[in-house]
Structure 1
Amino acid sequence: MTITYLEQEQLFHLQSKDMSYIIQLNNGYPLHVYWGKKLRSVSNITRLLHYPDNASIDRYPQEYPQYGTGDFRNPAYQVRLEDGSRITELVYESHKITEGKPKLPGLPAVYVESERESQTLEIKLVDHYSGLSVTLSYTVFEDHNAISRSVQFLNCGSQSVSLERALSASVDFIDSDYEMIYLAGGWAREAQVKRRVLEAGLTTIESRRGASSAQFNPFMALARPNTDEDQGEVFGFSLVYSGSFVAETEVDYLHSTRVSIGINPFDFGWLLEPGESFQTPEAIMVYSTEGLGGMSRTYHRLYRTRLCRGIHRDQERPILVNNWEATYFDFNAEKIESIAKSGAELGIELFVLDDGWFGKRNDDTTSLGDWIVDRTKLPEGLTNLAERVNSLGLLFGLWFEPEMVSPDSDLYRQHPDWCIHVEGRRRTEGRTQLILDLSRQEVCDYLLESLSKIFTSVPISYVKWDMNRNMTEIGSATRSAVRQKETAHRYMLGLYDLLEKLTHQFPHILFESCASGGGRFDPGMLYYMPQTWTSDNTDAIERLKIQFGTSMVYPVSTIGAHVSAVPNHQMGRTTSLVTRGDVAMSGNFGYEMDLTTFSDDEKVIAKQQVAHYKEIRSLVQQGDLYRLRSPFEGNETAWMFVSEDKAQALVYYFQVLAEPNAPLKKLKLKGLDPELDYTIDEEDIIYGGDRLMHSGLHIPPLHGDFVSKCFHLKAKV
């Protein structure tokens, strides 16, 4: 891992384990020269790029393109100056190379635990007319083929500057022979893998919802047409941010491709008075020559170990039972205790009390913001209930939706201006609720005080932090007219600050993010909450697609997955308890159902599932994931987890629909040590790792629809 500067060629060479990234200064402009497999020497590399003399900058591959000076493609940033002009021309002023990786003020970001893990290049550009200074930051990592990029704007002039577009990263590729891969969907069908050939023009995925959204994840990749799970070049882009974003590709008339990612410029603005600065979120760019699987495993290792934080990062996650689909709002202390008791008998470790425990919350129309226990449902209080659950040997967890307020609540009646709104306009309600204005310090202070009071008085070990609607009528009562477009981003900064304080004050609490399921499953939230409720859809068959797609970027340790009742509440589908368990055990395992209704046979199966997951969870949560069969491509799904030392592996195979007179099936495994011998499920038969990967593992005939099979491999000592 090195960053070197060749002064004579004005060329920066950024190297990680197997990757090079090259920038050259040309007449003060930072140009993009190369990103790909690691190069031994970069001397004279720019001779490979031939441009006509006096060519327009529109023909050049750039690192951070600007508007108005001859480049007609989408810029990485745009400003409006006080004189009404929109033209700036950033040119190189200086650079510095440092060990380690600096923190981003007020924003989540990948970190290092030792300066030896990374190096950072900062290139300072200036616009001499306005005094605007822009610093491009690049960090390369010793153990990962990844680069983090972010940008800081500083107004060094004497007049104000209005930012209208401020993206985190832009990369110009010299050709367009790529396919774009991204994750799309909606509520209950998040993270559906999409793949399309790049064509001339602009292709955009985005959120304008004030959250990263279930509709599009803040991730995209470019892959060569022949790229699959195991081979081919892939360039990944992932934004460490939880608000509205944009990721786009633009193919121009020269067949070059510009990739951009960052805060969505739609309805965004930021006023920089003299001396003020603005920091963009961080984009993580990953390079792989080992296909999509190689890209994913790079993101997994980086995000699992250097994005997630706290004592829970490396710990095994507890097996839980959540009462939501068991009771919804209709429960009392005795019912909750009975479910917890049934869970304890199965070996479950954590009980989570979901929505309905506070205010007068008997449905979703009231009481958000009033974080006071409902004594009608819980007459002896929340602390008493938690202690009763603890006495059964279970930890206690609690559901909150802190960012929201119900119009029918004491909080709203006292502070009707505390929600995001535009004065004199209709306040659109979603799920009969409004969004608290977290751009206001007094609102964040109220939440910090209210939640801290509960966290210190109740023995809470886990918090499910939900968020069930997106932003409309975006405005803030305390923001001036010229700063109203700052509201959505200031909201995110307020949320991040609140989460930073809570997680620092209560490090023992395992926080799980939720946004009607996966509506805010992004790297920004993982910085504060090391796992996310992946989808409100708990149907095992739909979860195959959802969890497969989510794994494109996010480590399994972040993926919440539960067994629920059948017929499934979202789909009406009936699947076996075994299949539901195998799907859920491919993530952070739990149950979301009334365990008191289990038959004796179901109790036996569930007890076996709990015991089995305790045996394998470190492998699932910390191992390397290999995707074997895609649910988007056929009737079968398969994936496997391999320990770092290759001594253990776990294979899950799923058959969606039964097939008459089915042919023999083999599954070629991945990630094993070809020199090791393995046994499967404690059988006497020995299989060579090379045989399992090249010849394959025989799949026995499976009868019926929606069936699964698990194989546990252990290296022969």
Structure 2
Amino acid sequence: MDDPRPPRRHEHLRAGDTSVVVEVGDDTIPRVLRWGCDLGDLDDLALAALADAVRPTTGDSVVTHQTSVPLVPQHGTGWLGRPGITGNRIVDGLPGPGWSPLFTSAQHARADSDGVCRLVSEGTDPGAALTLTTELEVHPSGLVRARASVRNDGETPYALAALECALPVPAAADELMHLTGHHTRERLPQRQPFTVGQLVREARGGRPGHDATTIIAAGVPGFGWQTGRVWSVHIAWNGNQVSVAERTDGGWRLLRGGELLLPGEVVLEPGETYTAPWLVASWGDGLDELAGRHHDYLRARPQHPSRPRPVLLNTWEAVYFDHDLDRLTALAEAGAEVGVERFVLDDGWFRGRRNDRAGLGDWFVDEAVWPDGLRPLVDRVHALGMEFGLWFEPEMVNLDSDLARAHPDWLLGVGRGPGPESRHQHVLDLSKEEVVTYVTERMSALIAELDIAYLKWDHNRAVVDAGGQPLGSPAGHANALAVQRIMAELKHRHPGLEIESCCGGGGRIDLGIIEFADRVWASDCVDAHDRLDIQRGTGLLLPPELVGTHIGSPRAHTTGRVQPLSLRGGVALWGHLGIEWDLTRATAEERAEVAEWVALHTSLRPLLHNGRVVHADLSGDAFRLEGVVAQDGSRGVYGLAGYDRPLTSSYGRMPLGGLRDDVTYRVSLLPPGDRAPVGRRPAWMDQSVALSGRVLREVGLELPVLQPDGYLLIDATAV
């Protein structure tokens, strides 16, 4: 009996220990059959056999049992799950056909280059007059990227409602992990079974948000940092977005997502194209390997920061709005004494900005506070050998500002005036070219005038009622793109300029904004206790050199906790180090210890900002153990934080992960992280030991029990 199926062929995309097996044909856009660990060399016969081996039975209904799901699932194939493309044609101003497109006439081309395996496909639906283009990539890091574009080939407008890519995961992926949180408590993991139905995570505030999932991961139950196969997806987009884990009654498990479009936001005129953001997918045996693929991918980009990341001092928690030349000069001098390399003047420098109720949008130095401008402060900072950075919140405006009074039509709204006020501020409509021009020119002028090396770009409120006046037309998509445009233009005009993505702390951390920003501010919370987990969640996506980690004051601004400097310094060590503290009020002993932490960080920067991040899988919440290991395995440094009192009198033995089995390491404590008071001291703490990486991984070290908020640094150096 002849095979009734249309002829299909298979592509095998391989890079970075990752395989993606794709089924293609003249009648279908790509269908990913399997992605994950490398399968080795497979010829055409082996690929065809693999496809037959994983193809489910359809019974007598293609509707209830899909044999495979396209990269963009389509209702027109009989798929009853979440469609990957929705929309409709507009005829005479009314909703018309094209709401169930089916892309059949397809062409596929490999476009491998620079170690990236790439498959580009194009399918058309003549009846709906649409062309769908998909791109599927596997990078040398093993990271997978997928995205889709749709073009209107018809003679009437097409209102696109959604365009999402989806990747299947196997039945073994029976547990989901996604992140949650809020302002000052971002990116904390939560887990649940991968049950039938959809887990939908939406961000509707014009940014991924403080509760942003960052990734949705599915893995074998109980997967941890070091063990358990796990797969994940992330939406590389700095605006509204949706991430979905979907399990159907037909047995399919999909991880998927895309931009969350506002109603009527994307209406394609004849010939126009919409391109969805990249769906970025990773996998690993444990979360460390999964995260490491993100890190390797980012580090391979040509724009990734290549020079040592300057230790910075940010003025916000030191002075708040109380700007004074003498006070800030003294703060800069105190910073230089402890080794600070970049001084960042935060909020409060511009006209009318004595509190958070006025001034946003008026990007002119306040003559009342700074009669000679900022130049005297900048000159002193430069004379001390430091770079100068400045805070902006370019997308926002206070109603009490010259800008809002002169241009009320520049504010987002949906026809009932400015949208809801939040934090005493509103949002500028960057879909208007004149607004983009104003923001770009004001920032560019100050960058040039003051020799600014670094922008702290803040975004302190969610974007709601994101309509462009006068009609209130949806403008979320245009605003998100405009942010990228402005950042790119400023960097073009001012080579070497670095930008931090701050968003009320960690509200805008994604692989879309990081194409333009050089670091993120993980959270407005610098409480070291909370930062232990905030930084872990952030590190699932970004390597340490892209994450701002600051030493705060003894009493945490956001929580009121009082913590020892050893914990504050130890936790801040692991990212792009900074200081968020009025050092002029610190004691001489405190400043001396800060200088020790800064000196240690600068000495370890080549390791911390190029090595592989490792975490210990813990039993309980009494402590945290994590570290960074050099790519060649020559050294590993680990931090042990006392999180709480354990239920037992001992933490027990804990392996040091990431080291090479065949290398012998000298294990000792590393100052200044060697001073935490402990009870019983394991012998190795007083006399260093030399053990192989295999022994350290399989047997581990007996750890001392720390008091809550105690911190130790452990050094393992090859001998």
Q: CA deviation at 1:515?
A: 0.3
The structure-2 alpha-carbon separation of the partners of 1:75 and 1:58, relative to structure 1 and needing over 3 Å to count, comes to farther
* Partner residue in 1 for 2:143: 146
CA contact (8 A) 2:9 2:48 kept: no
Residue 79 of structure 2 corresponds to residue 71 of structure 1:
yes
The structure-2 alpha-carbon separation of the partners of 1:345 and 1:253, relative to structure 1 and needing over 3 Å to count, comes to same
Residue 459 of structure 2 corresponds to residue 467 of structure 1:
yes
CA contact (8 A) 2:313 2:344 kept: yes
* Partner residue in 2 for 1:697: 701
Residue 639 of structure 2 corresponds to residue 652 of structure 1:
yes
Residue 34 of structure 2 corresponds to residue 34 of structure 1:
yes
Q: How does 1:669-680 map to 2 (within 5 A)?
A: 669-680=656-667
Root-mean-square deviation (CA, aligned residues, Å) is: 2.0
Mapped partners of 1:625, 1:174: distance in 2: 27
Mapped partners of 1:299, 1:228: distance in 2: 17
The structure-2 alpha-carbon separation of the partners of 1:507 and 1:178, relative to structure 1 and needing over 3 Å to count, comes to farther
* Partner residue in 2 for 1:287: 283
Residue 398 of structure 2 corresponds to residue 406 of structure 1:
yes
* Partner residue in 1 for 2:652: 665
The structure-2 alpha-carbon separation of the partners of 1:353 and 1:130, relative to structure 1 and needing over 3 Å to count, comes to same
Q: CA deviation at 1:659?
A: 5.0
| Alignment equivalent of 1:503, drawn from 488, 491, 496 | 491
Q: CA deviation at 1:90?
A: 1.2
* Partner residue in 2 for 1:230: 226
SS at match of 2:244: strand
CA contact (8 A) 2:8 2:25 kept: no
Q: CA deviation at 1:57?
A: 4.2
The structure-2 alpha-carbon separation of the partners of 1:468 and 1:255, relative to structure 1 and needing over 3 Å to count, comes to same
* Partner residue in 2 for 1:155: 152
Mapped partners of 1:331, 1:252: distance in 2: 58
- TM-score normalised by the chain length of structure 1: 0.92
CA contact (8 A) 2:175 2:219 kept: yes
Mapped partners of 1:303, 1:603: distance in 2: 35
SS at match of 2:691: strand
Residue 713 of structure 2 corresponds to residue 710 of structure 1:
yes
Aligned residues with identical type, % of pairs: 28
Mapped partners of 1:440, 1:713: distance in 2: 56
Q: CA deviation at 1:300?
A: 1.1
The structure-2 alpha-carbon separation of the partners of 1:633 and 1:518, relative to structure 1 and needing over 3 Å to count, comes to farther
1:516-535 deviation digits (Å, cap 9, x = unpaired): 00010111111111210100
Mapped partners of 1:383, 1:508: distance in 2: 20
SS at match of 1:471: coil
* Partner residue in 2 for 1:274: 270
* Matching residue's letter, 1:662: S
SS at match of 1:43: helix
Mapped partners of 1:92, 1:233: distance in 2: 37
* Partner residue in 2 for 1:134: 132
* Partner residue in 1 for 2:501: 513
Mapped partners of 2:714, 2:605: distance in 1: 14
SS at match of 2:328: helix
* Partner residue in 2 for 1:261: 257
Q: CA deviation at 1:134?
A: 0.3
Q: CA deviation at 1:249?
A: 1.6
* Partner residue in 1 for 2:52: 47
CA contact (8 A) 2:58 2:65 kept: no
* Matching residue's letter, 1:413: R
Paired positions, count: 683
Mapped partners of 1:37, 1:190: distance in 2: 31
- TM-score normalised by the chain length of structure 2: 0.91
Q: CA deviation at 1:235?
A: 1.3
Q: CA deviation at 1:666?
A: 2.5
| Alignment equivalent of 1:443, drawn from 435, 443, 447 | 435
Q: Structure 1: which 5+ residue stretches go unaligned?
A: 1-6, 100-114
* Matching residue's letter, 2:355: D
Q: CA deviation at 1:210?
A: 1.1
The structure-2 alpha-carbon separation of the partners of 1:340 and 1:274, relative to structure 1 and needing over 3 Å to count, comes to same
* Partner residue in 2 for 1:98: 111
CA contact (8 A) 2:10 2:24 kept: yes
* Matching residue's letter, 1:70: G
SS at match of 1:59: coil
Q: CA deviation at 1:705?
A: 2.2
CA contact (8 A) 1:206 1:247 kept: yes
CA contact (8 A) 2:226 2:616 kept: no
CA contact (8 A) 1:383 1:459 kept: no
Q: How does 1:171-570 map to 2 (within 5 A)?
A: 171-173=167-169, 175=171, 177-265=173-261, 267=263, 269-288=265-284, 290-306=285-301, 310=303, 313-425=305-417, 427-477=419-469, 484-485=473-474, 487-570=475-558
Mapped partners of 2:172, 2:38: distance in 1: 21
SS at match of 1:190: strand
Mapped partners of 2:80, 2:217: distance in 1: 24
Mapped partners of 2:451, 2:32: distance in 1: 54
The structure-2 alpha-carbon separation of the partners of 1:228 and 1:92, relative to structure 1 and needing over 3 Å to count, comes to farther
Q: CA deviation at 1:226?
A: 4.2
Mapped partners of 1:453, 1:529: distance in 2: 20
Q: CA deviation at 1:11?
A: 2.0
Q: CA deviation at 1:56?
A: 1.6
CA contact (8 A) 1:206 1:218 kept: no
Mapped partners of 1:66, 1:671: distance in 2: 43
CA contact (8 A) 2:14 2:117 kept: no
